[in-house]
Amino acid sequence: MILNFLLNIVYIFVSTVISIIPDSTIPDFITDTIATVSTYFSAFYSFLPFVTSTLIAVVGIFITIEGIILLIKVINWFIRKIPFLN
């Protein structure tokens, strides 16, 4: 009963907040660009396989790290908005 009430309050609050925010999708030209870049990578892969593999791995790790950092900052931003916790 008590947990139901608290969970529902949290759910209503969060769902209301996120319902205000519009959905976002990555623009098509970016995905098309990445697909095109893949064809260039593929051409270089047969010629310089180590360099190409390294670049792909580096890009992947870079995106991962920046994504994690962004998420940490977003979460901290939310936490700081909670009264008395800042």
Q: CA angle at residue 18 from 12 to 23, to 5 degrees?
A: 145
- x/- contact string, 14-33, with another protein (CB under 8 A)? xx--xx-xxxxxx---xx--
* 65 touches another protein (CB under 8 A): yes
Let me know how long the chain is: 86
Rounded to whole angstroms, how far apart are CA atoms 75 and 14? 14
Radius of gyration of the chain (CA): 21
Q: Tell me the site size for another protein, rule CB under 8 A.
A: 58
Residues in touch with another protein (CB under 8 A):
1-4, 7-8, 11, 14-15, 18-19, 21-26, 30-31, 34-56, 58-65, 67, 69-74, 76
